[in-house]
């Protein structure tokens, strides 16, 4: 089997297309690269969607946490504390065992029939946990940024008669985002790293459709040689990290475009946000 054949057979194996059976023996480098790369689709899926939905929820949470109304503040505080204070690994296990307990046949509410079986699958259940988790981490970052908006900016807004919603939309929110962006980039990178936990934490890989680390682990178990499969995952993730830094760097430049070049914030990768 030539390498191109392998790519055709396994490039979308993680989604269930192509060859049914995984390779059994004589594992080639090409098979390693193709299957692990195919698994990376899931990492990108989990990371991108959780990040996208989490962004909005995190904004809401940060505002709730900064609010003076304790009915808003307390729940947000607790939510952030629970998700930041406990291991993601345990959160996955907990969510899975909770979702499994839902009635198999579905739930009937007000005559509506809601099927439940899809919730225990990784694409939905794990995505939901990652969404909540990244929301909590990002909310803490946004909250910190909201607190460090320069007083002068708000006073200037007052002086111009900008208040209420338009003050938030035009002054507070863009500044918050600008201040939070370097830390948020870190959060995004480590969220993508955290997606490798999904298939090791209870969620089953249906028909061996797993993520990059799932396939790397498969190869390492079969060949009993960790020196090929794991460096390939590492390689893919380094590429992914660079792509993220580039993409977030573009946004960062846009957020800082009105500032003189010497006080623009630069994105520095600080590995301090692992969960």
Partner 1 sequence: MFSSCADPKSLEGISWLLCYLTSGKHIDFYWSFLTVFVLLAVTAPAALLFGFGGAMAARSHVAPLRWLGKIYTAMVRGVPDIVFFLFFVIALDQGIEWMTHKIVCPDWTEPIRQGLEFRVCPEAKVPPGDAPQFWHQLYGFALAVFTFAIVFGAFAANVLYGAMNAVPRAQLETAEAYGMTHGQVFRRVLVPQMWTYALPGLSNLWLILVKATPLLFLLGVKDIVYWARELGGSKTQAYAYPHPDWRLWYFLFLLVAYLCMTRVSEIVLARIAKRLNHGQATAAGEAMRRAAQ
Per CB under 8 A, residues contacting partner 1 are 25, 81-82, 85-91, 93-94, 97-98, 100-101, 193-194, 196-197, 200, 213, 216-217, 220, 222-227, 230, 233-234, 237-238, 241-242, 269-272, 274-275
DSSP state of 206: G
Whether 64 contacts 117, CB under 8 Å: no
Minimum distance, C-beta of residue 87 to partner 1, in the bound complex (Å): 4
Q: Which one, 17 or 242, has the nearer CB to partner 1?
A: 242
Minimum distance, C-beta of residue 162 to partner 1, in the bound complex (Å): 30
Q: Which one, 181 or 214, has the nearer CB to partner 1?
A: 214
Long-range contact set of residues 226-234: C-beta below 8 Å, sequence gap at least 24: 228/29, 228/32, 229/32, 229/36, 232/32, 232/33, 232/36, 233/36, 233/196
- Taken in order 260, 261, 262, 266, the sign of the CA dihedral is positive
Q: Which one, 24 or 68, has the nearer CB to partner 1?
A: 24
Q: Which residues pair with 109 in a beta bridge?
A: 112
Residue 232 token pair: 């390939």
Q: Which one, 34 or 185, has the nearer CB to partner 1?
A: 185
161 CB contacts (<8 Å, ≥6 apart)? none
Residue 115 token pair: 């099927």
Minimum distance, C-beta of residue 179 to partner 1, in the bound complex (Å): 17
Q: Which one, 63 or 79, has the nearer CB to partner 1?
A: 79
Q: Among candidates 248, 256, 253, 245, which has minimal Cα distance to 175? A: 256
Minimum distance, C-beta of residue 95 to partner 1, in the bound complex (Å): 9
Q: Which one, 7 or 22, has the nearer CB to partner 1?
A: 22
Minimum distance, C-beta of residue 219 to partner 1, in the bound complex (Å): 11
Minimum distance, C-beta of residue 21 to partner 1, in the bound complex (Å): 17
Q: What whole-number distance in Å separates Cα of residue 2 and Cα of residue 7?
A: 9
Q: Which one, 63 or 275, has the nearer CB to partner 1?
A: 275
Q: What whole-number distance in Å separates Cα of residue 262 and Cα of residue 275?
A: 33
Residue 12 token pair: 């979308």
Q: Among candidates 269, 95, 86, which has minimal Cα distance to 188? A: 269
Minimum distance, C-beta of residue 234 to partner 1, in the bound complex (Å): 4
Q: What whole-number distance in Å separates Cα of residue 178 and Cα of residue 149?
A: 10
Q: Which one, 91 or 135, has the nearer CB to partner 1?
A: 91
Minimum distance, C-beta of residue 200 to partner 1, in the bound complex (Å): 6
């Amino acid at each position: 089997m030539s390498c191109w054949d392998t790519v055709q057979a396994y490039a979308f194996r993680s989604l269930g297309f192509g060859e049914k059976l995984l390779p059994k023996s004589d594992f080639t480098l090409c098979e390693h690269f193709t299957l692990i790369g195919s698994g990376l689709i899931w990492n990108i899926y989990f990371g991108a969607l959780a990040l996208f939905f989490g962004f909005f929820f995190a904004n809401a949470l940060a505002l709730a946490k900064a609010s003076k109304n304790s009915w808003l503040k307390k729940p947000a505080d607790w939510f952030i504390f629970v998700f930041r204070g406990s291991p993601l690994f345990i959160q996955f296990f907990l969510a899975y065992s909770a979702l499994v307990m839902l009635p198999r046949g579905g739930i009937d509410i007000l005559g509506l029939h809601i099927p439940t079986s899809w919730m225990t699958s990784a694409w939905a259940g794990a995505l939901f946990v990652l969404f909540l988790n990244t929301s909590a981490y990002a909310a803490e970052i946004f909250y910190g940024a909201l607190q460090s908006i320069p007083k002068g900016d708000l006073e200037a807004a007052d002086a111009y008669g900008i208040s209420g919603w338009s003050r938030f939309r035009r002054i507070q929110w863009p500044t918050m985002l600008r201040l939070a962006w370097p830390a948020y980039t870190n959060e995004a990178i480590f969220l993508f790293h955290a997606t490798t936990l999904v298939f090791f934490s209870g969620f089953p890989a249906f028909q061996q459709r797993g993520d990059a680390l799932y396939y790397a682990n498969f190869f390492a178990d079969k060949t009993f040689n960790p020196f090929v499969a794991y460096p390939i995952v590492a390689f893919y993730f380094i590429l992914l990290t660079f792509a993220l830094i580039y993409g977030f760097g573009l946004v960062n430049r846009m957020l800082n475009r009105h500032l003189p070049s010497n006080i623009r914030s630069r994105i520095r990768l600080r590995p301090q946000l692992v969960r």
